[in-house]
Amino acid sequence: MNDRRFSVLDEFVQDELIYNDKVLTRQEYADMIAADIRAVPDLRFDAHLLLSDDDVVACRLWFDCTPTGTFFGQAPTGRRISFGEHVFYRFRAGRIAQVRSLIDRDAVATQLTG
């Protein structure tokens, strides 16, 4: 994701996946991530904690970035923000089939409006 190589997602993501209980195509998943990157061009996925067990990978991602477009419903202010995401990936046949993502959206809103 940090290299912005969305064209290779077929190697890592099933044709359809479940993202927080919503069925998405791989393209819809890529579009969702691409929209975040358009809103936050310096968005970098920094894994602070990474655990795996059988078919599940759990990760605490940290972001330190400056939104230039609307991000999680918040208008850009030019302020640099930091926030965490806890994400769980379930794999099937070696590719991501399910994603559970918990993003600290309150921290984003507080930093952009406060």
| CATH code, 83 | 3.10.450.50
Residue 92 lies in a domain: yes
Q: Write b or e for each residue in 28-56: b if 16 or more Cβ atoms lie within 10 A of its Cβ, otherwise e.
A: ebbeeeeebbebbeebeeeeeeeeeeeee
Give residue 114's pLDDT band: very low, low, confident or very high (50, 70, 90): confident
Domain that holds residue 54: 6-113
Residue 27 lies in a domain: yes
Q: Contact at 8 Å (CB) between 14 and 95?
A: yes
Q: Is the pLDDT of residue 6 over 90?
A: no
Q: What is the CA radius of gyration of the chain?
A: 14
Residue 83 lies in a domain: yes
Residue 101 lies in a domain: yes
Mean pLDDT of 100-106: 96
Q: Please report the pLDDT score of residue 55 as a whole number.
A: 97
Residue 1 lies in a domain: no
- Residue 74 DSSP symbol: B
Residue 49 — left, alpha, or beta (φ > 0 → left; ψ -120 to 50 → alpha)? beta
Residue 43 lies in a domain: yes
**pLDDT digit string (tens) for 31-90?**
999 999 999 999 999 999 999 999 999 999 999 999 999 999 999 999 999 999 999 999
Q: How many structural domains compose the chain?
A: 1
**pLDDT digit string (tens) for 63-73?**
999 999 999 99
Q: Please report the pLDDT score of residue 49 as a whole number.
A: 97
Residue 33 lies in a domain: yes
Residue 31 lies in a domain: yes
Q: In what order do the strands lie in the sheet with 13-19?
A: 22-25, 13-19, 95-103, 81-92, 56-65, 46-53
